[in-house]
Chain A
Amino acid sequence: MISPAPARRPQRVALFVTCLVDLFRPSVGFAAVKLLEDAGCTVEVPALQVCCGQPAYNSGDRATTRDIGRQVIAAFEGYDAVVAPSGSCGGMLAHHYPGLFDDDPAMRARAEDLAGRSHELMSFLVDVLGVERVAARYDGAATYHDSCSGLRELGVKAQPRRLLASVEGLKLNEMASPEVCCGFGGTFCVKYPEISNAMVSEKSADIAATGADTLLAGDLGCLMNMAGKLQREGRPVAVRHVAEVLAGMGDIAPIGEPERGEPEPAKT
């Protein structure tokens, strides 16, 4: 699953942006690009990507998922690696795509090929490229949430912590239960809002108990869910994607906070 030796020649990497990063927080994408380029990769962003198809997949709509899958497979053909700043999208490509095409051997083979080249960002940097440290600074105490797909499908656990350990000024306070689901689950959080709320409330309390001023994770869906709850509860925790901090972008407005120095909006 993970190649032990760091790649020597520069990798031609395609960035899988993810729909949430594209719509809500492009800085995550730019942070990913910076980290990949600093590690010696050339990064391209195939234009025809939209989504990995999970909303359809997890709703039981295999037909739509397969259509989207075919698009993704075609768009990302030919790159050495496909990297997503997301464990859930990375897992979709790396684990779930091949099974969608059991009835179509040619497509299945292409899906297997893509699966073999698909990675989550942290795991790609550490396990494949052998990156051990970053040249970033972040003054503060952070806690790290292990997003479920990244953790359980892709084995992402130690890698972000390894890189965070090299960030000057950053202290890591672990939660009591960093591996417990935050309650996002894609459409789950709006189909079963009360249960989702119970889960994210517990996560919020766990975060607060660490005394950290910053929450980090590798999946924007989880981060938006937790940020929204922390803010609704009035907890003073800045929420960021781990790639942003590692890329030295830890000073931009955190998730759910306005840009500093914004002019007063016209009242609408």
Chain B
Amino acid sequence: MQSTSHAFNENVDHALADPNLQDSLGKLKVGFSERRRQAAERLPEFEALRDRARDIKNHALANLDFYLEEFERKVVALGGHVHWAPTAADARDIILKLCQSMGARTVAKSKSMVADEIALNEHLEAAGIAPIETDLGEYIIQLRHEPPSHIIAPAVHLTKDQVADTFLEHHAKLGFTTRLTERNDLVAEARYVLRQKFLDADVGLTGANFLIAETGSSILVTNEGNADLSNTLPRMHIVLASIEKVIPTLEDLATLLRVLARSATGQESSAYTTLNSGPRRPGDLDGPEHYHVVLLDNGRSSVLGTEMQDVLRCIRCGACMNHCPVYGAIGGHAYGWVYPGPIGAVLTPQLIGVEEAGNLPNASTFCGRCESVCPVRIPLPKLMRHWREREFERHLTPAAVRQGLALWGFFARRPALYRRLTGLANRVLALFGRAEGRYRALPLAGGWTRFRDLPAPQPGGTFHSQWARKRGAR
């Protein structure tokens, strides 16, 4: 997917001025977080499960090569194939060749962030193959030529009316000429339209929430059933998964499932959690004849062993962005690429470079709400700070900020000098601010005073000067 992360500030301006988006974000902020809170409350073992989930992922990452090899062995033994894709281009080529080997004209796709990461759809379309998004949210944004704005609810930025307009525009030629107003009618219409596409598709392509080394299974967690139709009806099922998705055993899966749905949507379990282990067996009446797993690296193997390694624990639940006040103000598109919110702020610079995505880890107050809800306890603010450190080292921090910091640092290292300077600033600001108690405008403080008043210092001098006067100098 093409990135607009470098245009973060412009993206933010658009987002803040978009009434439909702001309306949708208003609902998101309250909805997901409340449901997660209730789900966590209902399960006394939830915190212990989070700790365990973190430990499982850490163990899997520390032994990632071993578990990938075991996974491959099992898949091959079941009659499937495993392909290794070091880069996005490798993955695209492998998938295109597989689709061409089936003479595919259409590919039924269920939601995959990794597919967006490697810009798969454009690659298939350029080769004359039509990818059909079947996840309702992905289908809607595919019609609108928009990227997803959330990792589990891709169309969360849209209102019902916007969806109705989109359906009217695109379904009219299929005979649906009434503009719908009810959500269940919209869902029913999408179901009808997409049903035939499932049945006609030559290839089904899904992501995977997890890969199980023990059994060679790929796991899909959905609510709609589209992923399961995509991997059952067509003759070939392709699983596209990044390498850090592999976990050791079914028992490990149980722990991760217990924290995934609750963290994502507050459900005890999603409607469909499916374990696919290879192609159809002799005697099966349905299922794909061909089963291919494409393992994508795309930079993840180099994150291991670095201070960023913890980000690879992510199980893509979306809780961080559901609870992030910055995401809640600007929505997902502002981040400019596939992964928004706090996880996006850490992962995007890693995958597409900090020169392109430098704003993302900076646009955070480090409030810590993301870390407090992450089911695998990723220290997201700390990782964002690491990005800021790397930017500082490489002089990517804006010059004004570096200079301001250097100046401030000069004084902060010299307490006596600092005292004199702050004493002066205090007296000046207190004097001119005395009448109103605050400043509506102040030179050099435009960033603050554009939107809010700046309180003036209390009269009487700095704390230190008053303390010295009242309690005697030390």
Contact = CB atoms under 8 A, between A and B. Distances in A.
Nearest to A257: B437
Contacts of A61: 389, 392, 405, 409
Contacts of A200: 451-452
Interface stretch (A105-113, A119-127, A189-197, A208-216): A189-197
A8 B453 CA distance: 45
A99 to B, nearest CB: 9
A58 B385 contact: yes
Given A23-B426, A60-B389, A262-B435, A231 B453 contact: yes
A218 interface: no
A25 B457 contact: yes
A153 interface: yes
B368 A149 contact: yes
A264 B436 CA distance: 10
Given A59-B401, A181-B325, A231-B438, A24 B455 contact: yes
Contact of A45 (B371, B431, B457, B464): B464
A51 interface: yes
B107 to A, nearest CB: 38
B413 interface: yes
Interface in B362-400: 362-369, 371-372, 385, 387-393, 397
B16 A60 contact: no
Residues of A in contact with B, size category? 35 or more
B120 to A, nearest CB: 32
A185 interface: yes
B448 A193 contact: yes
A30 B466 CA distance: 10
B415 A71 contact: yes
B363 A192 contact: yes
B454 A68 contact: no
A195 B329 contact: yes
B447 A191 contact: yes
B307 to A, nearest CB: 11
Interface string A27-63: 1011000000000000011011111010111111110
B405 A228 contact: no
Nearest to A190: B447
A152 B367 contact: yes
Interface in B279-306: none
B422 A185 contact: no
A58 B435 contact: no
A255 B455 contact: yes
Contact of A188 (B364, B422, B453): B364
A68 B454 CA distance: 27
Interface in A150-198: 152-153, 179-181, 183-198
Contact of A21 (B368, B385, B453, B463): B463
Contact of A60 (B12, B363, B392): B392
A50 B463 contact: no
Contact of A183 (B365, B438, B467, B468): B365
A198 B459 CA distance: 31
A195 B326 contact: yes
Contacts of B468: 47
B451 A23 contact: no
A104 interface: no
B399 to A, nearest CB: 13
Contact of A191 (B325, B362, B452): B362
Nearest to B426: A23
B461 interface: yes
A262 B361 CA distance: 45
B455 A60 contact: no
Contacts of B401: 59, 187, 191
Count chain B CB atoms within 10 A of each CB in A49, A200, A253, A256 and give the residue with the most.
A256
A50 B458 contact: no
Contacts of A253: 437, 458
Contact of A26 (B385, B425, B458): B458
Interface in B14-33: 16
Interface string B420-435: 0010011000011111
A3 interface: no
B401 to A, nearest CB: 6
B409 A67 contact: yes
A52 to B, nearest CB: 10
A148 interface: yes
A157 B464 CA distance: 29
A247 interface: no
Interface in A231-268: 231-232, 253, 255-259, 262, 264-265, 268
A141 interface: no
Contact of A25 (B388, B431, B434, B458): B458
A225 interface: yes
Given A71-B415, A152-B368, A228 B453 contact: yes
A60 B467 contact: no
B434 A198 contact: no
B408 interface: yes
Contacts of B412: 50-51, 53, 56, 64, 68
Nearest to A239: B455
Contacts of B42: none
A17 interface: yes
A22 interface: yes
Contacts of A23: 422, 425-426, 457, 462
A188 B468 CA distance: 33
A128 interface: no
B385 A232 contact: no
A59 B388 contact: yes
Given A23-B425, A47-B474, A225 B437 contact: no
B191 interface: no
B447 A193 contact: yes
A67 B405 CA distance: 13
Interface of B: 12-13, 16, 325-326, 329-330, 362-369, 371-372, 385, 387-393, 397, 401, 405, 408-409, 411-413, 415, 418, 422, 425-426, 431-438, 440, 445, 447-448, 450-464, 466-468, 471, 474
Give the top 5 A-B pairs by smallest Cβ distance, nearest first: A185-B365, A228-B452, A60-B388, A190-B447, A60-B392
24 contacts: A26-B461, A29-B463, A30-B463, A30-B466, A45-B464, A45-B474, A48-B415, A50-B411, A56-B405, A60-B389, A64-B413, A68-B413, A148-B367, A152-B368, A185-B367, A186-B365, A189-B447, A194-B13, A195-B326, A231-B438, A232-B440, A258-B436, A259-B459, A265-B434
Interface of A: 17, 19, 21-27, 29-30, 44-45, 47-51, 53, 55-62, 64, 67-68, 71, 148-149, 152-153, 179-181, 183-200, 202, 224-225, 227-229, 231-232, 253, 255-259, 262, 264-265, 268
